[in-house]
Amino acid sequence: MNNKFEVSTFILRVVLGISFFIHGLTKFQGGIENIVGWFDSIGLPGGLAYVVAVIELVGGLALVIGLGSRVVSILLSLVMVGAMIKVKLAVGFLGNGQMAGYELDLAFLAMAVVIAVNDSKLFALDQVIFNKQSNKSGNQKVA
């Protein structure tokens, strides 16, 4: 694969991972109960707040280290689609002065889709794990 492509996908993976990790961490640090209440207030099950926060926190960390990047990116894409449809579309692309619009959500969605489609193998823990497994079983990749 093209080296520039791998580097750019790696950069997307790490930046998206850090961004989601921080978003998830903030949900817990700020009081997840507040997020649960907000989810209830917009017609979503409050328990879904825990699911979203864990996906963001753990998924963000997994992206940074390159563990399950495709699966994590699909989960994060679903979170972004849900956020845009349920909350952000009503306030528009740039927001309404009281709430941010969906421009950041759309950028995060695009980044996650690129990673889900193309994966990111550069400095990825998946590569270390799968290479060790293939070496133990005697199956080696042919370049």
Q: Do residues 72 and 20 lie in contact, with contact meaning Cβ atoms separated by under 8 Å? A: no
Give the range among 3-7, 36-40, 72-76, 130-134 with minimum mean pLDDT: 130-134
- pLDDT over 70 at 142, yes or no: no
pTM, two decimal places: 0.87
Mean pLDDT of 103-109: 97
pLDDT band of 32, cuts 50, 70, 90: very high
CA trace torsion 57, 60, 64, 69 (10° rounding) = 130
Report the C-alpha gap between 26 and 119 in whole angstroms. Answer: 27
